[in-house]
Amino acid sequence: MRADAQRNRDRIVEVARSFFRAKGFDAVSMDEVAKGAEVGPGTLYRHFPTKESLYDAVLEAWAGKVNAAVDSALALDAPAREKLLTWLTDYAAMLTEHKGAAARITAALGDPGSPFAAKCTTYVNANQRLIDGLDSALRPGVEAMQISRLVGGMAAVADNSELPAESLAPMLAIVADGLLAP
């Protein structure tokens, strides 16, 4: 990609990120993003043919962030409950970082045709890595998809209700206690 085309793409993604974060996916138009990024609609659509593909690019940085967060939680020199709670807290925070993302991503879990399928897979795989890392400390039968849906559902409620992030802490502690082996 030419340097100017890369700069345009990066600017489009940054502008879209700020709009999606502030307003949510549904409230942002492609025309608004093009104007905010100071590019023509043709430039925008050359890089991102749909709003979903633009949103996916905005969320792309999450994959690295997700993997770093699960690695960090597992690397803690702490009991399994603290590792689990650290990850669940980070996971919920990442889901609520962009207005409306928690509900959209959680609803798309398990749908390979979703435009958010890659993000869903990243989260499910991170939860599987957590399960593998805490294997004997967790109840038998705990599945990555279950964790993804539990935390995603709680994050969606918090996001849609505009609850403060700290309101999730007691609920996440209950989920952590339920996931741990008796």
The yes-or-no verdict on residue 165 having pLDDT over 80 is no
Q: Comparing 58 with 132, which gets the higher pLDDT? A: 132
What is the pLDDT of the chain when averaged over all its residues? 92
160 DSSP 8-state letter: H
Q: Comparing 122 with 162, which gets the higher pLDDT? A: 122
Which residue intervals of the chain bear CATH 1.10.10.60? 3-58
* Region 17-29 average pLDDT: 88
Domain 60-179 = CATH 1.10.357: yes
* Per-residue pLDDT, 61: 63
Which residue intervals of the chain bear CATH 1.10.357? 60-179
Residues 6+ apart with CB under 8 A from 123: 66, 91, 105, 109, 148, 152
The yes-or-no verdict on residue 65 having pLDDT over 90 is no
Show the 3-state SS of 69-134: HHHHHHHCCCCHHHHHHHHHHHHHHHHCCCCCHHHHHHHHCCCCCCCCHHHHHHHHHHHHHHHHHC
* Per-residue pLDDT, 173: 97
Write the pLDDT tens digit of every residue in 123-159: 999 999 999 999 899 999 999 999 999 999 999 999 9
Which of the residue ranges 49-53, 74-78, 101-105 has the most confident prediction, judged by mean pLDDT?
74-78
* Per-residue pLDDT, 135: 84
The CATH number for 3-58, chosen from 1.10.10.60, 3.30.360.10, 1.10.10.1150, 3.30.420.40, is 1.10.10.60
pTM of the complete model? 0.74
Instruction: Tell me how far apart the alpha carbons of residues 139 and 47 are, in angstroms, rounded to a whole number.
Output: 45
The yes-or-no verdict on residue 18 having pLDDT over 80 is yes
* Region 41-60 average pLDDT: 90
- Contact of 69 with 91, CB cutoff 8 Å: yes
Instruction: Tell me how far apart the alpha carbons of residues 79 and 163 are, in angstroms, rounded to a whole number.
Output: 29
The yes-or-no verdict on residue 64 having pLDDT over 90 is no
* Region 118-123 average pLDDT: 88
* Region 38-64 average pLDDT: 88
Instruction: Tell me how far apart the alpha carbons of residues 116 and 54 are, in angstroms, rounded to a whole number.
Output: 11
Which of 27, 150, 40 has its CA nearest to residue 98? 27
What percent of the chain is modeled with pLDDT above 90?
70
